[in-house]
Structure 1
Amino acid sequence: MMCEVMPTINEDTPMSQRGSQSSGSDSDSHFEQLMVNMLDERDRLLDTLRETQESLSLAQQRLQDVIYDRDSLQRQLNSALPQLKVYRHCNMHSEKGVVLVKAFHAF
């Protein structure tokens, strides 16, 4: 395994002169730019993650609302269904009775 040795930077030298002293200044600036780009990308990804989490939270809340509405409508339907069966049963018998009465009157 090989490792590169970074040039030493004299702390007494101003930043503007450091680039001219070091032969690796181009690689240093490239490295710094790479780090800045990585941090920018990380920030963008974190923003996207936050937005996605908020969107997911809203979608989950909407799903809970829809499930509640569905269950409520199902309960209403189940409570009305026996009444519909009785109504339909009575209606069928009254229709048969009307047909029978009409048939009887026809003779």
Structure 2
Amino acid sequence: MMCEVMPTISEAEGPPGGSGSHGSGSPSQPDADSHFEQLMVSMLEEKDRLLETLRETQETLALTQGKLHEVGHERDSLQRQLNTALPQPLPSASPSRSGDHQFVSSDFSFMWWFNFKKFF
């Protein structure tokens, strides 16, 4: 049985049809340039899209921080109103226990507010 040996193809020669990727004056160079240009355009578009998303996210963050600040002030105001509206604990005969009564009163006002918010 005989094997046919194909001749080697040098790198300077292109495959039949002349559309090789190597050699001088190869038509694939414009293809590579256009592919590179498309890649650059898509990267710039992606950069613009990401910058727009970043800007929108920063605006949302600023608005949310502003709302958080307002809600913090409102919470403090409501806590002051609750503290003035709730009856103050009676002074205890034992000085060591008076601090416990204040803590219980503060705890009660928080629990009352937490349960109050559940209904609304």
Could you tell me which residue of structure 1 aligns to residue 46 of structure 2? Answer: 48
For 2:46 and 2:76, the matched residues in 1 are separated by 44
Matched, 1:66 2:46: no
Structure 1: stretches of 5+ with no match in the other structure = 1-22, 94-107
> Match for 1:24: what amino acid?
S
Structure 2: stretches of 5+ with no match in the other structure = 1-22, 91-120
Could you tell me which residue of structure 2 aligns to residue 25 of structure 1? Answer: 25
TM-score, structure 1 normalization: 0.57
User: Quick one: percent identity of the two aligned structures?
Assistant: 12
State the Cα RMSD in Å.
1.8
SS at match of 1:46: helix
The alpha-carbon deviation at position 24 of structure 1 amounts to 2.2
| Candidates 71, 74, 77, aligned match of 1:76 | 74
TM-score, structure 2 normalization: 0.51
Could you tell me which residue of structure 1 aligns to residue 34 of structure 2? Answer: 36
The alpha-carbon deviation at position 92 of structure 1 amounts to 6.8
SS at match of 1:25: coil
Where is the helix percentage greater, Structure 1 or Structure 2?
A: 1
For 1:39 and 1:84, the matched residues in 2 are separated by 66
